Structure 1
């Protein structure tokens, strides 16, 4: 499948489009710095990672719309103290200019983070992003406690990269999220990349906690499978999660066409019959629409 085939693909499933919860849009200066890290295949990547989509902000928005992605995120993530406010202000302006983008924000363990997160929730932020690997902080850092209390009360979703892929460190792994959920079991966590490579552990956390979900970002693609395939024995349990698996892509920072993520999900049916078209419809639209709301109330068939 190529990108030009994507609209026909979701139309054949009877969907009104695609709902991608793991897309990145960052301020150009910061995005350029991120891309330099990918180009250098630095120690936090561990392998060559050529970026497929390098257009301007507006060119990339147009590419998503041409694919039929009707709702997407921006997912800024703070890598050090003092930058979250700048990222959040920029993301708010970006979402205001692009109504198909979920209002996205981030936070970091620093003084005042509880008040910051509370104000963001009150202002209408729809999704937060944390990247424990890049930010090098523990999810249960005491400074974050007031933020978690506020987010648990509001049930605002947080996309969390805490799996040890592509290169783990002392701040990644399922134990970090397990400790957090022991304290705040009602947090609406979306585990990025299905928790790669600790797939079984993060799947178990999603099974155990009502509001813990997983996104598909990059998993099952040839790029990820070459490093360690998703275990076949887990696929029936993944299918049984119902509304807890959401489409994610990592656009634009992916080394293959956007269409390949969809192709990778479709071919799972050959490995597990329960991962059928009904499952694809839930993953690619209904589950995210149920969590965040559908554009114009369009829940699809």
Structure 2
């Protein structure tokens, strides 16, 4: 699909659904040196990707912002995540600055199991953070690590959502999968968690978790696309449950780190044939309600 055709499709979809725009809860804007390292990892087909993964939108920051807005995205995130100690607080400072100069970006923050984590998480919340990112696979930590007890307590009490990559795709980690998340939610049952990639490949188990806990959402990042269906297909037997959770499924793209045009992620949702109301909720209304976007 050409760039023009991609834009035409997305514009047409928004018009058909009567959407004021798209809310994309899973996009990455990072310090330049960090993003370049992420891209280099994808280029190397490292073990956490498991296969060739060409970056579709390998552009400078201002170009990427223009591209995203050109698709009609009215709100997005700057998901950052540390892979070692003494990194999260610095990333939070960068994200706060990015949000201050990018008003359509939801102020994003992150954390890591380390001494002082509760202090910088509280500071980020006080500074206006509206969503946190956690990556169990990359960070290689158990969500229930005692060093995170105060962090989860703060997030539980304030209701600030956490978008967490905790499924075992595209490659399993020591602490990925539904088990650690079930343990966490037993201790903090009112956490607002957004399960990245719908928990792939443990789709059924994470849908079960969402059924039990009203504060658990799922994002559609890369799900149902040809790229994902080839390796971690969503089970046909669970298609009906997508309707059951119509108000707790949020659109995510993984922009700019995707190996296909942006519009394909939306096309993949439309071809599920779950109806316009379902699409409106997923592409805009559910996130607008969660983040109080008028």
1:3 CA displacement: 2.3
- From 143, 148, 157, the equivalent of 1:144 is 148
Matches within 5 A, 1:126-275: 126-269=130-273, 275=274
1:112 CA displacement: 1.1
Matches within 5 A, 1:115-130: 115-130=119-134
Tell me how far apart the structure 2 counterparts of residues 50 and 169 of structure 1 sit (CA, whole Å): 23
Q: Does 1:291 align with 2:293?
A: no
SS of 2:279's partner is helix
Match of 2:101?
Answer: 97
Tell me how far apart the structure 2 counterparts of residues 168 and 280 of structure 1 sit (CA, whole Å): 30
Divergent runs of 4+, >2 A: none
1:237 CA displacement: 1.1
Deviation by residue 1:72-118 (Cα, 9 ceiling, x = unmatched): 00011111100111111111111111100000010000001112111
1:8 CA displacement: 2.0
Tell me how far apart the structure 1 counterparts of residues 289 and 65 of structure 2 sit (CA, whole Å): 23
8 Å contact kept, 1:11–1:17: no
Deviation by residue 1:242-261 (Cα, 9 ceiling, x = unmatched): 31100000000000000000
Tell me how far apart the structure 1 counterparts of residues 153 and 122 of structure 2 sit (CA, whole Å): 10
Shifted more, 93-102 versus 232-241: the winner is 232-241
Tell me how far apart the structure 1 counterparts of residues 179 and 242 of structure 2 sit (CA, whole Å): 20
Match of 2:6?
Answer: 3
CA RMSD, Structure 1 to Structure 2 (Å) = 0.8
Match of 1:74?
Answer: 78
1:280 CA displacement: 0.2
SS of 1:242's partner is coil
8 Å contact kept, 1:102–1:126: yes
Tell me how far apart the structure 2 counterparts of residues 116 and 228 of structure 1 sit (CA, whole Å): 36
8 Å contact kept, 1:129–1:160: yes
Figure out how many residues of one structure are paired with residues of the other and give that number. Answer: 290
Tell me how far apart the structure 1 counterparts of residues 239 and 6 of structure 2 sit (CA, whole Å): 26
TM-score, normalised with respect to structure 2 = 0.97
- In the alignment, structure 1 segments of 5+ residues that lack a partner are 270-274
